[in-house]
A and B are shown apart, each in its own frame.
Chain A
């Protein structure tokens, strides 16, 4: 079974803090994705990566950065957390050219106070 894990299920941070969300997959997938999910807005793509050290902006990259130093790990970084970044964050991975069959992690519910 493909396994995508995320470092925390629930996280509470203060405004201005630097926040790291980690995602690890064990299927040797080339592609990894970070989404946020908000009520009434659906799933929105923040950043994605097709290879180690490679990143592409998604639809809402502002306020976020990412890091992919190893193939299995994709980190989402909030340089200075703000209350409007309170959300559910979902990581996903897939094989090259097969982005439709994405395997999702369990999600991290981040609250910024």
Chain B
């Protein structure tokens, strides 16, 4: 079964607006990662946040992690048409040797 579940499943915004995607997971983790996938392509790693971190920034990306709620959010500020893609969260499980992915949020940024 999926460890992470993203919300919403789809999001459509105007260029320049901010986009927020959420991820909820079920079991305790070592870290949580966010990936991006352009249609029909492989995934590209965006950011990794460790379980002892609460917030992390990378350019226009801001990720938060709330381990008490088992949730994370990805904020993309000042969105661009090129941000159109699917975004996935990925989590490990304590003691597991693998990373499992959520079902993704499909983001469309309208120029």
**Bind each other:** no
B residues with a Cβ closer than 8 A to A are none
